[in-house]
Amino acid sequence: MSEPKPAEELKKERRIEREIEIAAPVDEVWKALTDANELTRWFPLEARVTPGLGGKIFVSWGPGCEGEAEILAWEPGKKFAWKDPMGLVEWTLESRGGKTAVHLLQSGFLGNADWENEWFDSTSYGWLLMLLSLKVALERHRGIARQVAWPRLSVALSREDAYRKLLSGSALFTEDIRTALKSGEPYSLKSTAGDSFSGRVEFVQEPRGFCLTIRELNDALLWITIEGTPDKIEVQAWLSAYSVPAQVEAFGKKWQQRLHEIFQT
């Protein structure tokens, strides 16, 4: 009789796979993935890259949300991969009819503890935004520096309750929008912070969040996400915009105040 396998061997790996087509040449997409300055136009707030096989990539969204990884694949115009303590991230590029097909694979998710499930779900949802951000940066704002506002607030609610409260009437927007957000459809809304927004609903993933393009802010992306394990929920609004620094700064201040008013009154 064979001996039972160790618990680690019985864990089933989960993977995240996504693909997006971008109307840009392969060499420009490669640069966006591997050049530190280009990375900050769509991905982290700060980046450093030591190029080549065996090199390093460092990305940061601020203290507690940053890290460095070893580059395991470097085939210019074709494949780029890095590995950090949380797994392997692989990018594959392919020229396709004048566009570039970008394939992302992240592997190495093994555990099923609450924090591990949250990490997997949060990462999977986050890549929706990041790949969309890559597409928007290259197709609409090529070569332009990005401005980011990131209002956020820890709340003593479940994700479901926080999502419900955030989208109800007179919370973020003047109307209840829980049934109005439809992926791929146009929208027009007024925020309770005094903004008038219109554009397209890029995606919705209840009860985690949604993403909108904002025509009035030069085709910015507004991403609402509710992050954290059940006992540590944080509501976040991430605005990624180009060439409108004053409006981004004003948004950050107004929406931070609005989150406090919604959840702490």
Residue 178 is predicted with a pLDDT of 83
Residue ranges per structural domain of the chain: 10-140, 146-263
Are the C-beta atoms of residues 176 and 70 closer than 8 Å to each other?
A: no
Q: Which two tokens stand for residue 167?
A: 């989208």
Are the C-beta atoms of residues 46 and 60 closer than 8 Å to each other?
A: yes
Residue 114 is predicted with a pLDDT of 76
Confidence band (pLDDT; 50, 70, 90) for 44?
very high
Closest CA to 190 of 258, 117, 105, 119: 258
Q: How confident is the model over 53-111, as pLDDT tens digits? A: 999 999 999 998 999 999 999 999 999 999 988 789 999 999 999 999 999 999 988 87
Residue 17 is predicted with a pLDDT of 97
Given a cut of 60, whether residue 1 has pLDDT beyond it is no
Confidence band (pLDDT; 50, 70, 90) for 3?
low
To the nearest whole number, what is the mean pLDDT of the chain?
93
Residue 265 is predicted with a pLDDT of 67
Residue 84 is predicted with a pLDDT of 85
Confidence band (pLDDT; 50, 70, 90) for 118?
confident
SS (H, E, C) 55-97: CEEEEECCCCCEEEEEEEEEECCCEEEEEECCEEEEEEEEEEC
SS (H, E, C) the chain: CCCCCCHHHHCCCEEEEEEEEECCCHHHHHHHHHCHHHHCCCCCCEEEEECCCCCEEEEECCCCCEEEEEEEEEECCCEEEEEECCEEEEEEEEEECCEEEEEEEEEEECCCCHHHHHHHHHHHHHHHHHHHHHHHHHHHCCCCCEEEECCEEEECCCHHHHHHHHHCCCCCECCCCCCCCCCCCEEEEEECCCCEEEEEEEEEECCCEEEEEEHHHCCEEEEEEEECCCCCEEEEEEEEEECCHHHHHHHHHHHHHHHHHHHCC
Residue 85 is predicted with a pLDDT of 80
CATH superfamily of 146-263: START domain (3.30.530.20)
Region of poorest pLDDT, from 39-43, 95-99, 131-135, 179-183: 179-183
Are the folds of 10-140 and 146-263 the same?
yes
Residue 147 is predicted with a pLDDT of 98
Reported CATH class of domain 10-140: alpha beta
Q: Which residues contact 37 (CB under 8 A, 6 or more apart)?
A: 47
Confidence band (pLDDT; 50, 70, 90) for 116?
confident
CB 59: neighbour CB atoms within 10 A?
Answer: 21
Closest CA to 206 of 162, 255, 174, 169: 162
Q: How confident is the model over 19-40, as pLDDT tens digits? A: 999 999 999 999 999 999 999 9
85: cis peptide before it, omega within 30°?
A: no
Mean pLDDT throughout 163-188? 92
CA dihedral 88, 91, 92, 97 (to 10 degrees): 150
- Kindly state the percentage of the chain with pLDDT values over 90: 83
Residue 221 is predicted with a pLDDT of 98
